[in-house]
């Protein structure tokens, strides 16, 4: 039975203009990182990343993200092989010049990142009792993506870089990690101390895709 | 042709322990809001929400989110009708007691939120030139979700509440907003000044789904 409790009266939780600016600085300096130093990442910071994910919104409060902390070298190598195959295939979509440009891009840091996380989404979690996901089942995937964005921002605040690898065959990832049938591959994250820092996306800097405004439509 | 430019050397962008704490406070106090005051939201804050989305990561730097700022009352009413139908349908998954509990939950603020955004994802954007989305096309949807999480956090920092409505029939939303065939419905956001504030999810407080730890798996 649902417990009806008195909601606490409005609690003042005021963030200052400085706090807002701090948040926007973290937004601006959070960039996908693929160039890592070899230094290890202390466990207490890893715990903060886990906590950042736990604070993410999730449909029905279901927290559907499932995270593997991947330290096994054989597993990392297989993830890298998966990337190499998928990347070779991806190159075929481009004509000669663009294919050359594409191949010059560094799109992952699997061989160098000290911390690597494989993130899956449970598409049928018990938690949440199905609330909010009947018409939009991918609200679960969206919840996982939001949790990963919290992780991205927390990592940046602690000085860490995160690279999100999407050039992977998801079915192979599900087989490699032997996940239950209801789990869907969502993200592979490479985490470590960045070799350099920027407030611009690397793909902008390297002229692959310049930043562009996204206008909102009025209706 | 891809321009190879010298990457800037490591720029010190250090965030302090206080900055990290600020970020985690924003994480903790960002909660889905469904109870709004009637006060309007200044345009300059709306602009900051738009900027927060623009700082989100996106696959291939493609920024695939497409946002309608919905001020039309007839459109809002149709969104609310869509919610009512979907919610009635969603109630049917529960047995008698749970259905009663479910019906007591307030799951949206469509009739009261002063600002409302309908967010879609372009599943075939020109920007990004297809990079990073061949094997995982839903990386585009993930990008949109991350942009919405940035918006959630920015809103919280400015004192605003955001409610994400997922109990909607997505096809009806696509028809209602007359979007191009490649656009997929992602989110409906209700935004305004919250009637109360909490550092706990409402579904936890109301005993629908308690917060629970998400352990990471070691491999």
Domains and CATH numbers, chain B: 39-205 (3.40.109.10)
Chain A residues touching B67 at Cβ < 8 A: 214, 216-217
Contact A198 B8 (CB under 8 A): yes
Percent of chain A's residues with pLDDT above 90: 65
Residue B85 tokens, joined? 């139908």
Residue A12's CB is within 10 A of a number of other CB atoms, namely 6
B30 three-state secondary structure:
coil
Specify the residue for token string 């202390």: A42
With CA atoms as reference, the chain A residue closest to B21 would be A157
From the list B60, B150, B214, which residue is nearest A27 (CB)? B150
Contact A169 B135 (CB under 8 A): yes
Cβ pair A217:B66 closer than 8 A: yes
Q: What is the pLDDT of residues A156-204, one digit of tens each?
A: 999 999 999 999 999 999 999 999 999 999 999 999 999 988 888 888 8
CA distance A2 to A4: 6
Q: How confident is the model at residue A11 (pLDDT cuts 50, 70, 90)?
A: low
- ipTM of predicted complex: 0.92
Task: Please calculate the CA angle A73-A79-A84 and round it to the nearest 5 degrees.
Answer: 125
Query: pLDDT tens, A32-75?
Result: 999 999 999 999 999 999 999 999 999 888 899 999 999 999 99
**Cβ B19–A15 below 8 Å, yes or no?**
no
Mean pLDDT, rounded, of chain B: 91
pTM: 0.93
- When pLDDT is averaged across residues B103-127 and rounded to a whole number, the result is 92
Model pLDDT, residue A29: 93
Q: Verify whether the Cβ–Cβ distance A212 to B9 is below 8 Å.
A: no
Edge-to-edge strand list for the sheet holding B183-192: A217-218, B65-69, B115-122, B183-192, B161-165
8 Å CB contact of B150 and A12:
no
| pLDDT at residue B8 tops 60 | no
Model pLDDT, residue B214: 84
Residues 6+ apart with CB under 8 A from A146: A56, A57, A58, B145, B146, B148, B149, B152
Q: pLDDT-based confidence at A8, cuts 50/70/90? A: low
Residues of A in contact with B173 (CB under 8 A): none
Confidence of residue A90 (pLDDT cuts 50, 70, 90): confident
Whole-angstrom CA distances from B51 to A16, A102, A149, A203 are 18, 29, 16, 19
Percent of chain B, pLDDT > 70? Answer: 95
- What whole-number distance in Å separates Cα of residue A35 and Cα of residue A112? 8
- What does DSSP assign to residue B181? T
Q: How far apart are CA A48 and CA A50, in angstroms?
A: 5
Q: Which residue has the higher pLDDT, B103 or B157?
A: B157
Q: Residue B77: is its pLDDT beyond 70?
A: yes
Question: Who contacts B7 (Cβ-Cβ below 8 Å, separation ≥6)?
Answer: A196, A198, A205
Q: Where are the beta strands (DSSP E) in chain B?
A: 65-69, 115-122, 161-165, 183-192, 217-218
Query: Each residue of A136-150: pLDDT tens digit?
Result: 889 999 999 999 999
Buried b (16+ CB within 10 A) or exposed e, A103-121: eebebbbbeebbbbbbbbb
Q: Which of A3, A42, A54, A55 to mutate to test the interface with B (most CBs of B within 10 A)?
A: A55
Between CA A187 and CA A164 the distance in angstroms is: 7
Judge contact between A76 and A118, C-beta under 8 A. Answer: no
- CB A219 to CB B67 under 8 A? no
For residue B3, give the 3-state DSSP assignment: coil
A175 contacts A151 by C-beta, under 8 angstroms: no
Nearest to B116 by CA among B159, B149, B153, B160: B160
Q: How many CB pairs under 8 A join A and B?
A: 354
Share of chain A above pLDDT 70, in %: 95
Block residue for tokens 């591959």:
A185
Alpha carbon A30 to chain centroid, angstroms: 12
């Amino acid at each position: 039975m649902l417990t009806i409790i008195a909601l606490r009266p409005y609690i003042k939780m005021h963030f200052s203009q400085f706090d807002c600016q701090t948040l926007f600085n973290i937004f601006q300096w959070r960039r996908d990182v693929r160039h890592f130093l070899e230094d290890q990442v202390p466990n207490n910071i890893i715990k903060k990343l886990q906590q950042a994910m736990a604070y993410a919104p999730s449909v029905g409060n279901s927290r559907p993200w499932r995270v593997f902390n991947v330290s096994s070298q054989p597993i990392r190598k297989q993830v890298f092989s998966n990337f190499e195959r998928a990347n070779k295939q991806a190159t075929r979509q481009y004509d000669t010049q663009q294919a050359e440009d594409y191949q010059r891009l560094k799109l992952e840091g699997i061989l160098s990142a000290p911390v690597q996380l494989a993130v899956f989404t449970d598409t049928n979690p018990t938690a949440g009792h199905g609330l909010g996901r009947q018409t939009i089942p991918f609200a679960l995937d969206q919840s996982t993506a939001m949790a990963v964005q919290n992780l991205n921002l927390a990592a940046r605040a602690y000085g860490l870089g995160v690279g999100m690898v999407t050039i992977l065959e998801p079915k192979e990832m599900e087989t490699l990690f032997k996940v239950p049938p209801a789990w869907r591959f969502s993200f592979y994250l490479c985490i470590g101390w960045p070799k350099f820092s920027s407030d611009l996306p690397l793909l902008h800097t390297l002229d692959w895709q310049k930043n562009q405004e996204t206008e909102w439509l009025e209706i």
